[in-house]
Amino acid sequence: DQQVKQNSPSLSVQEGRISILNCDYTNSMFDYFLWYKKYPAEGPTFLISISSIKDKNEDGRFTVFLNKSAKHLSLHIVPSQPGDSAVYFCAASLVYGQNFVFGPGTRLSVLP
Amino acid sequence: NAGVTQTPKFQVLKTGQSMTLQCAQDMNHNSMYWYRQDPGMGLRLIYYSASEGTTDKGEVPNGYNVSRLNKREFSLRLESAAPSQTSVYFCASTPRGGTVTDTQYFGPGTRLTVL
Protein backbone atom coordinates (compact mmCIF):
# COMPACT_ATOMS: atom_id res chain seq x y z
CA ASP A 1 0.00 0.00 0.00
CA GLN A 2 1.50 3.31 -1.08
CA GLN A 3 2.20 5.70 1.75
CA VAL A 4 2.57 8.65 -0.61
CA LYS A 5 0.01 9.07 -3.37
CA GLN A 6 -0.18 11.35 -6.34
CA ASN A 7 -3.56 10.51 -7.76
CA SER A 8 -3.22 12.49 -10.99
CA PRO A 9 -0.81 10.73 -13.35
CA SER A 10 -0.88 13.74 -15.67
CA LEU A 11 -1.93 17.37 -15.83
CA SER A 12 -2.08 19.86 -18.69
CA VAL A 13 -2.07 23.62 -18.14
CA GLN A 14 -1.88 26.63 -20.41
CA GLU A 15 1.24 28.77 -20.26
CA GLY A 16 0.83 31.64 -17.81
CA ARG A 17 -1.83 29.86 -15.76
CA ILE A 18 -1.44 28.22 -12.36
CA SER A 19 -0.40 24.57 -12.10
CA ILE A 20 -1.51 22.74 -8.95
CA LEU A 21 -0.01 19.34 -8.24
CA ASN A 22 -1.41 17.34 -5.36
CA CYS A 23 0.02 14.75 -3.00
CA ASP A 24 -1.57 12.76 -0.17
CA TYR A 25 0.16 10.71 2.48
CA THR A 26 -1.09 8.15 4.94
CA ASN A 27 1.59 8.11 7.65
CA SER A 28 0.82 10.85 10.17
CA MET A 29 4.38 10.57 11.50
CA PHE A 30 5.83 12.12 8.32
CA ASP A 31 7.05 15.60 9.12
CA TYR A 32 9.27 16.60 6.23
CA PHE A 33 8.24 16.81 2.59
CA LEU A 34 9.91 17.49 -0.73
CA TRP A 35 9.08 18.05 -4.35
CA TYR A 36 11.42 16.93 -7.11
CA LYS A 37 11.21 17.67 -10.82
CA LYS A 38 12.39 15.22 -13.43
CA TYR A 39 13.02 15.76 -17.14
CA PRO A 40 13.28 12.78 -19.53
CA ALA A 41 16.65 11.02 -19.49
CA GLU A 42 17.78 13.02 -16.47
CA GLY A 43 17.79 12.37 -12.75
CA PRO A 44 15.34 14.13 -10.42
CA THR A 45 16.32 17.60 -9.20
CA PHE A 46 15.27 19.11 -5.90
CA LEU A 47 12.61 21.79 -6.19
CA ILE A 48 11.26 22.81 -2.79
CA SER A 49 10.75 21.41 0.70
CA ILE A 50 8.55 22.01 3.73
CA SER A 51 8.64 20.82 7.31
CA SER A 52 5.54 20.16 9.35
CA ILE A 53 6.06 23.22 11.52
CA LYS A 54 5.05 25.31 8.51
CA ASP A 55 2.00 25.30 6.31
CA LYS A 56 3.51 27.18 3.38
CA ASN A 57 6.89 27.64 1.78
CA GLU A 58 7.64 29.80 -1.25
CA ASP A 59 10.54 29.91 -3.65
CA GLY A 60 10.00 32.17 -6.61
CA ARG A 61 7.21 30.79 -8.78
CA PHE A 62 6.92 27.66 -6.64
CA THR A 63 4.87 27.41 -3.45
CA VAL A 64 4.22 24.30 -1.41
CA PHE A 65 1.23 24.14 0.92
CA LEU A 66 0.90 21.58 3.70
CA ASN A 67 -2.38 20.61 5.37
CA LYS A 68 -1.39 18.27 8.17
CA SER A 69 -4.90 17.49 9.32
CA ALA A 70 -5.82 16.35 5.82
CA LYS A 71 -2.42 14.73 5.24
CA HIS A 72 -2.22 16.63 1.99
CA LEU A 73 0.30 18.83 0.29
CA SER A 74 0.21 20.69 -2.96
CA LEU A 75 2.69 22.41 -5.24
CA HIS A 76 1.59 25.59 -6.97
CA ILE A 77 3.50 26.93 -9.96
CA VAL A 78 2.59 30.48 -10.95
CA PRO A 79 2.87 31.43 -13.74
CA SER A 80 3.44 28.13 -15.50
CA GLN A 81 6.04 28.06 -18.27
CA PRO A 82 6.69 25.50 -21.02
CA GLY A 83 10.02 24.67 -19.35
CA ASP A 84 8.07 23.45 -16.33
CA SER A 85 6.86 20.47 -18.36
CA ALA A 86 8.28 17.50 -16.46
CA VAL A 87 7.37 14.76 -14.02
CA TYR A 88 6.95 15.99 -10.45
CA PHE A 89 7.55 13.67 -7.51
CA CYS A 90 6.34 14.27 -3.99
CA ALA A 91 8.36 12.65 -1.18
CA ALA A 92 7.85 12.36 2.57
CA SER A 93 9.96 11.40 5.55
CA LEU A 94 10.55 11.78 9.22
CA VAL A 95 12.92 14.69 9.83
CA TYR A 96 15.15 12.39 11.81
CA GLY A 97 14.63 9.54 9.40
CA GLN A 98 17.13 8.30 6.90
CA ASN A 99 15.05 7.90 3.80
CA PHE A 100 12.18 9.28 1.81
CA VAL A 101 9.04 7.60 0.55
CA PHE A 102 8.30 8.82 -2.96
CA GLY A 103 4.98 9.16 -4.74
CA PRO A 104 4.56 7.79 -8.28
CA GLY A 105 4.80 11.20 -9.91
CA THR A 106 2.58 13.53 -11.94
CA ARG A 107 3.47 14.46 -15.50
CA LEU A 108 2.88 18.17 -16.06
CA SER A 109 2.53 19.53 -19.57
CA VAL A 110 2.50 23.29 -19.98
CA LEU A 111 1.04 24.19 -23.35
CA PRO A 112 2.22 27.33 -25.18
CA ASN B 1 31.98 19.66 -11.77
CA ALA B 2 30.30 16.70 -13.43
CA GLY B 3 28.11 16.12 -10.36
CA VAL B 4 26.86 12.54 -10.15
CA THR B 5 27.76 10.29 -13.08
CA GLN B 6 26.47 6.80 -13.81
CA THR B 7 27.65 4.14 -16.21
CA PRO B 8 26.35 2.57 -18.31
CA LYS B 9 23.34 4.57 -19.51
CA PHE B 10 21.62 1.51 -20.97
CA GLN B 11 22.11 -2.23 -20.49
CA VAL B 12 20.34 -5.38 -21.61
CA LEU B 13 21.01 -8.58 -19.70
CA LYS B 14 19.79 -12.13 -19.92
CA THR B 15 18.31 -13.79 -16.86
CA GLY B 16 21.08 -15.08 -14.63
CA GLN B 17 23.79 -12.74 -15.90
CA SER B 18 25.60 -10.45 -13.52
CA MET B 19 26.64 -6.86 -13.85
CA THR B 20 27.79 -3.85 -11.86
CA LEU B 21 26.33 -0.37 -12.15
CA GLN B 22 28.87 2.32 -11.45
CA CYS B 23 28.28 5.66 -9.76
CA ALA B 24 30.72 8.44 -8.98
CA GLN B 25 30.36 11.94 -7.56
CA ASP B 26 32.93 14.74 -7.60
CA MET B 27 31.26 16.99 -5.00
CA ASN B 28 33.03 15.49 -1.95
CA HIS B 29 29.68 14.30 -0.61
CA ASN B 30 29.55 11.98 2.36
CA SER B 31 26.43 9.94 1.62
CA MET B 32 25.43 8.03 -1.49
CA TYR B 33 22.26 6.16 -2.48
CA TRP B 34 20.90 3.72 -5.04
CA TYR B 35 17.24 3.89 -6.10
CA ARG B 36 15.13 2.08 -8.63
CA GLN B 37 12.16 3.55 -10.43
CA ASP B 38 9.44 1.39 -11.93
CA PRO B 39 6.44 2.50 -14.00
CA GLY B 40 3.63 3.87 -11.84
CA MET B 41 5.81 3.87 -8.76
CA GLY B 42 8.03 6.37 -7.10
CA LEU B 43 11.71 5.92 -6.48
CA ARG B 44 12.47 3.14 -4.02
CA LEU B 45 15.68 3.00 -2.04
CA ILE B 46 17.78 -0.12 -2.60
CA TYR B 47 20.89 0.61 -0.50
CA TYR B 48 22.64 3.63 0.88
CA SER B 49 26.02 4.53 2.29
CA ALA B 50 25.92 7.15 5.01
CA SER B 51 29.68 7.56 4.88
CA GLU B 52 32.75 5.94 3.37
CA GLY B 53 33.06 2.40 4.69
CA THR B 54 29.41 1.93 5.66
CA THR B 55 26.43 0.56 3.76
CA ASP B 56 22.85 -0.12 4.81
CA LYS B 57 19.81 -1.73 3.27
CA GLY B 58 16.96 0.35 2.03
CA GLU B 59 13.42 -0.63 1.15
CA VAL B 60 14.15 -3.16 -1.63
CA PRO B 61 17.67 -4.66 -1.17
CA ASN B 62 16.99 -8.27 -2.21
CA GLY B 63 18.98 -9.36 -5.24
CA TYR B 64 21.52 -6.53 -4.97
CA ASN B 65 24.88 -5.88 -3.36
CA VAL B 66 26.76 -2.64 -3.02
CA SER B 67 30.31 -1.45 -2.49
CA ARG B 68 31.38 1.96 -1.31
CA LEU B 69 34.78 1.81 -2.96
CA ASN B 70 35.93 5.19 -1.67
CA LYS B 71 34.30 8.53 -0.93
CA ARG B 72 33.62 9.17 -4.62
CA GLU B 73 32.31 5.82 -5.83
CA PHE B 74 29.35 3.63 -4.94
CA SER B 75 28.62 0.59 -7.09
CA LEU B 76 25.53 -1.61 -7.31
CA ARG B 77 25.90 -5.26 -8.30
CA LEU B 78 23.32 -7.67 -9.59
CA GLU B 79 24.74 -11.16 -9.07
CA SER B 80 22.06 -13.07 -10.98
CA ALA B 81 19.73 -10.75 -12.85
CA ALA B 82 16.00 -11.44 -12.95
CA PRO B 83 13.28 -9.88 -15.14
CA SER B 84 11.85 -8.26 -11.99
CA GLN B 85 14.99 -6.16 -11.85
CA THR B 86 14.14 -4.44 -15.13
CA SER B 87 14.01 -0.82 -14.05
CA VAL B 88 15.67 2.56 -14.19
CA TYR B 89 18.37 2.88 -11.55
CA PHE B 90 19.36 6.20 -10.06
CA CYS B 91 22.36 7.00 -7.93
CA ALA B 92 22.27 10.04 -5.63
CA SER B 93 24.55 11.76 -3.15
CA THR B 94 24.14 14.24 -0.31
CA PRO B 95 26.74 16.58 1.19
CA ARG B 96 26.49 15.53 4.80
CA GLY B 97 24.11 12.64 5.05
CA GLY B 98 22.41 11.50 8.22
CA THR B 99 19.47 13.82 7.75
CA VAL B 100 16.72 13.97 5.18
CA THR B 101 16.97 17.76 5.13
CA ASP B 102 20.23 17.37 3.20
CA THR B 103 19.56 17.89 -0.52
CA GLN B 104 20.04 14.83 -2.71
CA TYR B 105 21.74 15.21 -6.07
CA PHE B 106 20.83 12.57 -8.62
CA GLY B 107 22.67 11.05 -11.55
CA PRO B 108 21.03 10.67 -14.97
CA GLY B 109 20.05 7.04 -14.45
CA THR B 110 20.80 3.62 -15.95
CA ARG B 111 18.02 1.91 -17.87
CA LEU B 112 18.35 -1.85 -17.34
CA THR B 113 16.35 -4.51 -19.15
CA VAL B 114 16.55 -8.14 -18.09
CA LEU B 115 15.24 -10.61 -20.65
- In degrees rounded to 5, what are phi and psi of residue B20? -120, 130
Indicate yes or no: CB of A103 within 8 angstroms of CB of B42: yes
Indicate yes or no: CB of B42 within 8 angstroms of CB of A102: yes
Interfacial A residues in 70-89 facing B (CB < 8 Å): 89
Residues forming beta bridges with residue A106, ordered by sequence position: A88
Indicate yes or no: CB of B92 within 8 angstroms of CB of A43: yes
In single-letter form, the type of residue at position B110 comes to T
Indicate yes or no: CB of A41 within 8 angstroms of CB of B108: yes
The 8-class DSSP code of residue A1 comes to -
Please give the Cα distance from A34 to A48 (Å, whole number).
6
Residues forming beta bridges with residue A12, ordered by sequence position: A109
The answer to whether A43 contacts chain B (CB < 8 Å) is yes
Please give the Cα distance from A25 to A2 (Å, whole number).
8
Which chain A residue has the Cα nearest residue B97?
A98
Mean pLDDT of B94-115: 88
Please give the Cα distance from A74 to B104 (Å, whole number).
21
pLDDT tens digits, residue range A25-45?
Answer: 999 999 899 999 999 989 999
Task: Give percent of chain B with pLDDT exceeding 70.
Answer: 98
pLDDT tens digits, residue range A32-78?
Answer: 999 999 999 899 999 999 999 999 999 999 999 999 999 999 999 99
